[in-house]
A = this chain, B = another copy of it.
């Protein structure tokens, strides 16, 4: 049994390489929404010869195959998420982590927007900002 990534790559005429699978795996197995650099660093021990360029080129393909989605919470770099359903994200302003918000039904909100705009909607991205529970604790410690 072939996994989804393997068959999708092959179907679209892309070659299945260890690098591509490894990059997708990093994204599939983390909830940290890593940037290209973070993916690169994560893979260094296992693939010491892998280049950042390969990470970027692979991300491009994974995006095209809709295997990942792109996030931009307002940092200078992009982050990537292998969960491709369109859920909101929340970003801690103190530690910078980005987490999924799952189990939200935004249908009503989206419908309201759809009915008020002349655009044909194709998607949306909801970002929330705040302080995570860990950072809230730290905040309250003296100094």
Contact = CB atoms under 8 A, between A and B. Distances in A.
Interface stretch (A30-38, A54-62, A88-96): A88-96
Interface string A88-108: 101011000000010110101
**What are the 8 tightest A-B residue pairs by CB atom distance, in nearest-first order?**
A119-B130, A118-B133, A121-B130, A123-B129, A109-B109, A124-B128, A125-B127, A120-B131
A41 interface: no
Contacts of A124: 126-129
Interface residues of A, number: 36
A116 interface: yes
A112 interface: yes
Interface of A: 70, 72-74, 78, 88, 90, 92-93, 101, 103-104, 106, 108-109, 112-113, 116-133, 136
B118 A104 contact: no
A72 B72 CA distance: 7
Given A72-B72, A88-B113, A126-B126, A132 B119 contact: yes
Given A70-B74, A109-B109, A120 B125 contact: no
